[in-house]
Structure 1
Amino acid sequence: MTAALAPAALDAADWQARRAAHEQRVDAWLAPHLARRKAGGKHPVEDFLFTYYSHRPAQLRRWHPGAGVVLRDADPAEFGPDYRADAAGVTLDTDRVRARRGESVAWIRALLVATAGRPAHLGCFGMHEWAMVYRQTQEEVRHNAWPLRLTPERTAAVVEERGVRCSHFDAYRFFTPPARPLNLLTPTRESQHALEQPGCLHTNMDLYKWSYKLSPLVPSELVADCFALAREIRALDMRASPYDLADLGYAPVRVETPEGRAEYAAAQRDFAERAAVLRGRLLAALG
């Protein structure tokens, strides 16, 4: 995670160094993805954040200082129409951004506050990924280029034995039709503020989505921090899934066993703690 951000007024050497450091950091994530895309290849873990979320690689790479930061000796044309120049330098016109996107910003802020105010629940054991392949054949599953660790029959039995406790709508909507009645909840977009909780892997992955939707009000370093955490979470998500990704270097977290569930819950707790810090930083950036 990045250190505390620089003072509100940045000399050209300072903001250019920050921009270059951000671009270098992001390029390390983008290069393998762009190479696979050019070659027509796919990776079920590393490509997920680029295919599931709407933020394009070029947008992730583009640097913004965040609200309230003055860039000395800068050209507002370098940063886009939401920036203005005065005698002090170039800064984000937050009134312009909020006038255009105020409703969206308020919705995201309310969701972050509601989520932060709840305790973390750690008893789902990743069954949402199993519910996405429940009662499907190998050919029908979403990532059918990769084998399942268990037979479809045994996979279904694990779901039925463990039950599903998913509170996240955007995970729930990918459940197979026969899996949906097995869930304890029926999440909807309308109930999202009431249901999301800070132990959920997908809720914490979505901090990346909320950070880029809040850009350029939040600094790009924070967006990249959210991306980095989401990338780690995705790895756990798929390691605990029914898929066998050992050939890609992802050792399974066997949540169908007591030992695997304990491993999953420990990692989930760590992610919840790290996500809480990022959630707090997003809220602080909004004021």
Structure 2
Amino acid sequence: MESNNKVASFNQSEMDGQMASNKPVDNKPSGSTEYQLRKYLLLLATLVATVTYVAGLNLPGGAWQDTTDGHLAGDPILRDAHYHRYLAFYYCNATAFAASLVVSLLLLVLDGKNTGWEALLRVVMVLDLLGLMGAYAAGSCRDSFTTIYSAVLVCAVAAYIMLTFTYYWGLEMVLPKKQREDTEKQDEKQSKDTDIHEREELHEVLMLLATFAVTITYVAGLNPPGGFWGDTQDGQQVSDPILQQHYPSRYQAFFVCNTTAFVASLLIIILLLDKRLSSKGFSIR
């Protein structure tokens, strides 16, 4: 009997060990929050690189179709019609494109431990977003109404970005390293909660929708429906949208809705990134 009890006890302990080994193991790395942020940043960098590349090759306002009056066929009309707007758009768009490529390269070496890379990544991301908004404002403004409306919205979001970035930078300098590590451990424990997991999934869906909205509104703002005038005659201005002259109310409604959607989508992305950064111990809330 004693021998049978030992065998049964051994078999039971072996089964318990197998069941324990078959339980799902949480292989979630300690830098999982940083990894989630890394995916968001890579998604945003890919978005910006795509739209700025296309916009750089197809400038707003179209291109000259013939060689007359001192301009060459194929040259951008915006450069001759609105030179300062052309320069602002070109430099902002090129800055956003280059910054998005740098962000993608930095994400390849980001391991969640080297704070130097993380600080550089945040600086480049700020340049990326500011360049994108500046290019949209310069490329979509046609008159005083569109200029003022887009400038107010873009400046408001730019101010929030700079405020958030400055706060993060200053907080990282003064916050003790041990306190940041304790915050990371506490957030890692909270991430196992089911409600938090569902909330994170919702944030990912919002990020995808906002990314899609930014893409289409950026392209539509630079190239509104109806195309552009190719010459100056009968009261029309070359490189101006045709819709603006034929249906000014419709054009204003389109511009307001499109610009609002563009800025709101960017703000959603920034708020989601801000929330991810706040889980690392840096938040203005």
State the TM-score, normalizing by the size of structure 2.
0.32
Q: Larger Rg: 1 or 2?
A: 2
- Scaled by the length of structure 1, the TM-score of the pair is 0.32
